[in-house]
Amino acid sequence: MKIIERTKIVEIASVAPNREVCVKGWVRTRRGNKNVAFIALNDGSTIHNIQVVVDINLFGEEFLKPITTGACICVNGLLVESQGQGQSVEVQAQEIEIYGTADPATYPLQKKGHSLEFLREIAYLRPRTNTFGAIFRIRHHLAFAIHEYFNKQGFFYFHTPLITGSDAEGAGSMFQVTTLDIVHPPKTEDGKIDYSQDFFGNATNLTVSGQLEGELGAMALGGIYTFGPTFRAENSNTPRHLAEFWMIEPEIAFYDINDNMNLAEDFLKYVISYAMKHCKDDIEFLNQMYDNELIDRLNFVINNQFIRLTYTEGVEILEKSGKKFEYPVYWGADLQSEHERYLVEEHFKCPVILTDYPKEIKSFYMKQNDDGKTVRGMDVLFPRIGEIIGGSEREADYDKLLKRVTELNMSTESLWWYMDTRKFGTAPHAGFGLGFERLVLFITGMQNIRDVIPFPRTPKNAAF
Ligand code: 4AD
Ligand code: MG
């Protein structure tokens, strides 16, 4: 075969026709008649396929037989304006090399539309479908937009550990990390597991959040953000929970809760606008195939101010709504997704930021209000998602923090380094965590969080 530099399909529209090109990709479909075959080829660079037109007399039927759905080929040919409908240019094949075949009897991805549930079972192949190609390109662009946003703000990307001895959220649903023999672990004299013999010399787990270490960064660099995987061993089998998910956690010195809310709102609007600009074809595809209100919803979020109110005001609205919820609502209750979505979708019809939650339902590190009952936490609630961001102003006062940690029977021993920041140059500061997959869920209009991460980890499932 002649050696021609490969052109990605996404770039083909900007190549002047009547030139020789080389395209490579996976066959989506093949149709035609005795004389001519039309191959729809996709290389993942775009939702669009390139049509390859093959003169059967030139190649012979036998040669073309293995070029079926899923096969990978390389085509040299002439790029011409297309006579057919649905594409502006096509490639008239001159030479074809078959890189890999895909036996139609066993290749699971045939042309017909497959259910999302079925595709989850073959997650190793689903990136080859239009839907998952679109989702994973959007996911990439969002990750890029997030780094761009914080870089422009002058925040530093701060890498917090994945293996840690601390339980940042104090919630206790952690995956333990150990090299001890779990059948016969070494024991101390009083019969407990002797973690001094473990790899790190103490008990460790996968992180549930990079926040506590992020705060250390903010207390030195001013503004930082993390963007990494986090792990939660909670048995939540819902369309919005993963056991392994990616979180973005900015943490900023000298910010109060209002600065924090402003940042969260501006940040979300920026990354959504970015996706709409850079992933136009993919979002249009998803809008057409899955959710025809998607683009309207994205525009609405970009163009409207989020409503801000306190938890107490939110609970009053819910109590007065007369609506029958599955979980009862009263002051002090942890809000469920159904409550959050009622406020956002039915009452305000707008994203909402709730603040000042009862301290009992929030983490130990949140700044305590003077009322003795509430803390300066904030949750950003989105249509169809519920909570997309959770954050707070942090308790910067050593005595108040110590009192709360003690009330909650938390171990001050393992938190000594965190407590120390309140002794050495403490400062007001705030931050939040955005669940990356919840953001991707919102922007793609998908219904299930398992469909916006390439290889989801959920209870009883760590396949691939
Ligand atoms: O509300 P969370 O638990 O807050 C924290 O972890 C804080 N340390 C954040 C901070 O202030 N720096 O989690 C933050 C966000 C949630 O709002 C949600 O979007 C997402 O992380 N999240 C999950 N996403 C997928 N699967 C799960 N199991 C999630 N748990 C939380
Ligand atoms: Mg939360």
Alpha carbon of 208 to ligand 1 centroid (Å): 9
pLDDT of residue 35: 95
**What are the tens digits of pLDDT across the range 271-301?**
999 999 999 999 999 999 999 999 999 999 9
Residue 119 has pLDDT above 80, yes or no: yes
pLDDT of residue 87: 76
Q: Where residue 110 falls among pLDDT bands split at 50, 70, 90?
A: confident
pLDDT of residue 278: 98
Residue 355, both tokens: 């603040």
Which atom of ligand 1 approaches the CA of 433 most closely? 9
Q: What percent of the chain has pLDDT over 90?
A: 93
Q: What is the mean pLDDT of residues 118-130?
A: 96
Q: Where residue 372 falls among pLDDT bands split at 50, 70, 90?
A: very high
Alpha carbon of 337 to ligand 2 centroid (Å): 11
Could you tell me where the DSSP H helices lie in 20-74? 56-59, 61-64
Q: Where residue 132 falls among pLDDT bands split at 50, 70, 90?
A: very high
Q: What is the mean pLDDT of residues 261-276?
A: 98
Q: What percent of the chain has pLDDT over 70?
A: 99
Within 190-283, strands assigned E span 204-206, 223-231, 244-253
Residue 146, both tokens: 């997030």
CA distance 461 to 455: 10
Q: Is the dihedral of CA 363, 366, 368, 371 positive or negative?
A: negative
Q: Where residue 314 falls among pLDDT bands split at 50, 70, 90?
A: very high
pLDDT of residue 412: 82
CA distance 56 to 37: 7
Residue 215, both tokens: 């705060």
Residue 86 has pLDDT above 80, yes or no: no
Best-predicted range by mean pLDDT (106-115, 171-180, 354-363):
354-363
Give the Å distances, CA to CA, from 91 to 32, 111, 128, 142, 383: 15, 21, 21, 32, 44
Alpha carbon of 194 to ligand 1 centroid (Å): 32
Q: Where residue 51 falls among pLDDT bands split at 50, 70, 90?
A: very high
Q: What are the two backbone dihedrals, phi and then psi, of residue 144, each rounded to the nearest 5 degrees?
A: -65, -45
Cα torsion for 273, 277, 282, 288, to the nearest 10°? Answer: 70
Residue 213 CB–ligand 1 contact under 6 Å = no
Residue 172 has pLDDT above 80, yes or no: no
CA distance 417 to 219: 13
Q: What are the two backbone dihedrals, phi and then psi, of residue 64, each rounded to the nearest 5 degrees?
A: -80, -20
Q: What is the mean pLDDT of residues 245-272?
A: 98
pLDDT of residue 113: 80
- DSSP character at residue 43: -
pLDDT of residue 413: 83
Q: Where residue 239 falls among pLDDT bands split at 50, 70, 90?
A: very high
**Mean pLDDT score across all residues of the chain:** 96
Sheet holding 307-310, edge to edge: 156-157, 223-231, 244-253, 429-435, 386-393, 374-382, 352-358, 307-310
Contact at 8 Å (CB) between 286 and 444? yes
Alpha carbon of 276 to ligand 1 centroid (Å): 24
169-173, 311-315, 425-429: least confident range:
169-173
182 three-state secondary structure: coil
Ligand nearest to the CA of 439: 1
Alpha carbon of 337 to ligand 1 centroid (Å): 14
Give the Å distances, CA to CA, from 439 to 135, 353, 355: 12, 16, 20
Which residue, among 299, 304, 320, 418, has the nearest Cα to 363 in the 3D structure? 418
Residue 226 CB–ligand 1 contact under 6 Å = no
**What are the tens digits of pLDDT across the range 329-347?**
999 999 999 999 999 999 9
Residue 170 has pLDDT above 80, yes or no: no
CA distance 250 to 218: 9
Within 370-409, strands assigned E span 374-382, 386-393
CA distance 333 to 313: 13
Pocket test for ligand 1, best of 247, 260, 353, 363 (most atoms within 8 A of CB): 247
pLDDT of residue 167: 79
Residue 174 has pLDDT above 90, yes or no: yes
Residue 85 has pLDDT above 80, yes or no: no
Q: What is the mean pLDDT of residues 58-75?
A: 97
Residue 437 CB–ligand 1 contact under 6 Å = yes
Q: Where residue 227 falls among pLDDT bands split at 50, 70, 90?
A: very high
Contact at 8 Å (CB) between 396 and 427? yes
Q: Where residue 169 falls among pLDDT bands split at 50, 70, 90?
A: confident
pLDDT of residue 143: 98
